Each structure stands twice: as C-alpha cells, then as structure tokens.
Structure 1
Amino acid sequence: MTESAVRLVICDDHAVVRAGLLALLSSAPGIEVIGEAGNGPEAIALAERLRPDVVLMDLQLGGDMDGAEATRRITEFASPTPRVLVLTTYDTDADISRAIAAGATGYLLKAESPEELFAAIHAAAQGKTALSPPVAHRVMAQMRNPRPTLTARELDILAQLARGLGNREIARALHISEATVKTHLGRIYDKLAVDTRAAAVAVAKEQRLLP
C-alpha cells in the first residue's frame, strides 16, 4: 500500500459480511483495511486507537449500541476525526436522518457496485458527501417537504416509545437518567406538536421518522 492509501476500519456484526468486504477491499486501489469490528463499542475502540481515515459502518448492529450511536461517538473524537461512511441495507427516512444527524459523511446501500463503494470510500476520506441514488432522492424529498427535525438522541427515545417502553425502561436502555428522558420527551412533543406518547408515535410513523 502507498502512503496515500485510505486507512479503513470495517464495522459489521456479521462475520461473513466482514470477510466479504475484506476480500473485496483488499483488491481496491488506494484502500488499506487496518481493522475490523463486530459491534459498536469495538468500532469506537478501534477508531480511537488506530485513527483511520474512514470507518465503514453498518447501522443494525448486535448488542445495545447501533451504528448511528457508534457514528455519533466516533465523530466526536478530537482531531484527527475519522470520517464515517454508512454501508447498510436500510434506507428509511428515520435511518438516514439518524445517521446524518450523528455525523456520517456518507450513506451507501449494500446493493451498490464495488466500484461505487470504492469511490464512496475515497470521497468520504476527503470529507465529501457520498450518497446512494435512492438515499439522495429521499434526502431531496425531505428538503422539499421538511419534516420535524429531531436529534439522534430524540430519535432514539422515539424508537423506544414505539416499543412501548416507559421512562425508566428507556433510561436503562439508553444509559441515561429518567430526568434526561423527560427533558427529551418534552422537546419531542413540542417538535411534533403533540401532548401524548401515543400521538408522538403516531405522528412519527406518519412522517416516516421511525424505521
């Protein structure tokens, strides 16, 4: 590998997928895979220790942390901050919004060609936005018809609401205090113009804010 090669960490909770990506990317010009992780905490630890140029991040990960939360934590690192390129099969508005809100530089679907993946990795390393065409279409649609803008944490809490969890259960699931949950709920209600949990979930589904 040349000195200018993009240093990459892969994060996917399926070992077979990681092996496939490793085999594919090992032949890619100008890309060097320097680590692989099977969950969010592993990806964060590797990114902090190795400081790659790009982390290739799946969204749906096993365990208590998904790819959006791992992305948020990685993009909060002090300089040099790794870029995060999401590579997933999910293209709902909620998934896209959470990933972008968390700081992802790009959002690619696993259906894309190897050449498009290689190009997206290089673009991400340069800080350029890389979006699959269906994702770009959804982003443009959201811009034309703006929906309530919720933070990544508010979307997390909304997702827990949709599961029917109470404040205490949400606090435990997200490792935050009940007071913090209540604060976020108040902001969610304001943004969605509702005053009950059921109404918040209904509006979120209508606005495609939930996966």
Structure 2
Amino acid sequence: MKPLRVALLDDHAIVRHGLVSHLSDEPGIEIVGVYENSRELMRGMVSAPAHVLLLDFALGRDELDGVSLIRALRARFPDCRILVLSTYHESATVSLALRVGARGFVGKDEDLSGLVKAIRVVASGAIYLSADMSYQVADAIRPADEDQQTVSDNALQRAALSAREQEVIRCYLEGMTVTEIAEKFNRSIKTISAQKATAFRKLGVTSNNGLFKIMKTLE
C-alpha cells in the first residue's frame, strides 16, 4: 500500500519537531511537508500534496484566522483532508472548524496515539472527534433543519437585533468571515464589523465562544 502522505502547519518549532519525530516512526505514514506559516504551506502543498493536513487552528497575529485558512485550503486543495490540532478546543471552536470544512479536531493535550488514530480516521474519509468532543458538539455538527433555523431566528429577534444584525450573526454562525459577509451583502467591512459589534453588545457577549453559548441559552 502507498504511504499516507501527511503535512503539518504549526508556528511553534518545538511542536513541529516533536510531531515530525513521532509521526515519522509510524508505519505507513510519510511526512511530506512541515510548515511554519500559511504562506509556506500554500506554496509547498502545490508541489508536495498531502492526503491529510495537520493544522494548528490559532496561528500568529500576521496569519489568517483559523476559519479563513480552512476555507482557503478547502477551495485550493479540495482533496486534502484537514485535521485541526489546537490548544483551544471548546465546543464552539470545534463546531466552527467542522462547519467550514475540517474533518476532525484534536486537542494538543491528547495522547500521541490518539493523534495517530485521528490521522488515519480522517484519511479514511470519516470525521474524527474524541468521545468527549463528540458529546459536546453533537448538536452543532448535525445539518440544521427548518425547525432549528426558525428557533435561531426567533432567538435573534427576542434579543432585539435589527434585521441586518440578524443577517450578520446568522452568516457568522455559519462560519463566514467579516469580509465574506461584506461581499455577500455588498456592504463595507467597516459596516459589517460595526453591526457585528452591536449585535454582540445586545446579546451580551464579547467572544465567539460566548456567541455560541448564548445562542444555545436563547434557544
């Protein structure tokens, strides 16, 4: 059998070296790319495609946010399956990564044997989450039906959001970035950012995780 081609992106050298050292000893796995930033990754994946990309979700300040990077990679390398590796694995973060195209999520505190299992599961075409993560995000990764959409809409209305603020939050919950929302509605990025900020204030939240939590409460 051909080896499973794996690439990885992490902005911490110690993490990169540790992963390479461990994964290189695994039978049937070939490390084809080790990247420090997304620019190197985009260039390297063209000449050295991978079956699975192990991706740090929270990179440095000069990098794309995790959601935007996953969406860009899915568009450019649709055959590569993305497995997120992150220190931050709250249910909201995991759900958001899955919504925009990741095929699995592993916490950096997970055992290395679990990471290897996750790589193989994702390579097979399945979605990988640990048992604990699966329980936490079970509802979030199910396709939304009309009743769920109605509940979400009613929740936003009860929070006194304007029609445009509701549009922005719905798109944001679907994994769209501020730039993408601005393009969708032909508004400026500044306007969308302001509407998002106002909506957050009305909902009483200050972060992405807070938004997901308050939506669950409102429902």
- TM-score band by shorter chain is 0.7 to 0.9
Other structure's SS at 2:132 match: helix
Please tell me the residue identity of whatever aligns with 2:213: R
CA distance in 2, matches of 1:105, 1:19: 24
Aligned to 1:23: 21
Calculate the aligned-residue CA RMSD, in Å: 3.4
Q: State the Cα distance separating 1:78 from its structure 2 match.
A: 5.6
Please tell me the residue identity of whatever aligns with 2:202: A
Deviations 1:34-69 (A, max 9, x none): 111112232233223322000000111012313332
Deviations 1:69-114 (A, max 9, x none): 22211111365x1000011111123311221122001111122222
Aligned to 1:168: none
CA distance in 1, matches of 2:174, 2:193: 12
Conserved in 1, the CA contact under 8 Å of 2:98 and 2:141?
Answer: no
Q: TM-score, normalised by structure 2?
A: 0.70
2:213 is the counterpart of 1:208? yes
CA distance in 2, matches of 1:53, 1:209: 37
Conserved in 2, the CA contact under 8 Å of 1:39 and 1:65?
Answer: no
Deviations 1:167-209 (A, max 9, x none): xxxx6xx9x77825378679x87xxxx9745215639625337
Please tell me the residue identity of whatever aligns with 1:139: V
Kindly tell me: are residues 209 and 104 of structure 1, through their superposed partners in 2, closer, same or farther at Cα, counting changes over 3 Å? farther
Q: Which consecutive unaligned segments of at least 5 residues does structure 2 have?
A: 143-147, 153-169
Q: Which consecutive unaligned segments of at least 5 residues does structure 1 have?
A: 158-170
Conserved in 2, the CA contact under 8 Å of 1:102 and 1:152?
Answer: yes
Q: TM-score, normalised by structure 1?
A: 0.72
Count of paired positions: 184
CA distance in 1, matches of 2:25, 2:51: 18
Aligned to 1:179: 187
Aligned to 2:39: 41
Aligned to 1:166: none
Conserved in 2, the CA contact under 8 Å of 1:93 and 1:209?
Answer: no
Conserved in 2, the CA contact under 8 Å of 1:57 and 1:86?
Answer: yes
Aligned to 1:138: 136
- Structure with greater Cα Rg: 2
CA distance in 1, matches of 2:191, 2:98: 23
**Matching of residues 40-79 of structure 1 within 5 Å:** 40-62=38-60, 63-77=62-76
How many percent identity over aligned positions?
A: 28
2:201 is the counterpart of 1:198? yes
Kindly tell me: are residues 61 and 6 of structure 1, through their superposed partners in 2, closer, same or farther at Cα, counting changes over 3 Å? same
CA distance in 2, matches of 1:104, 1:129: 9
CA distance in 2, matches of 1:134, 1:109: 11
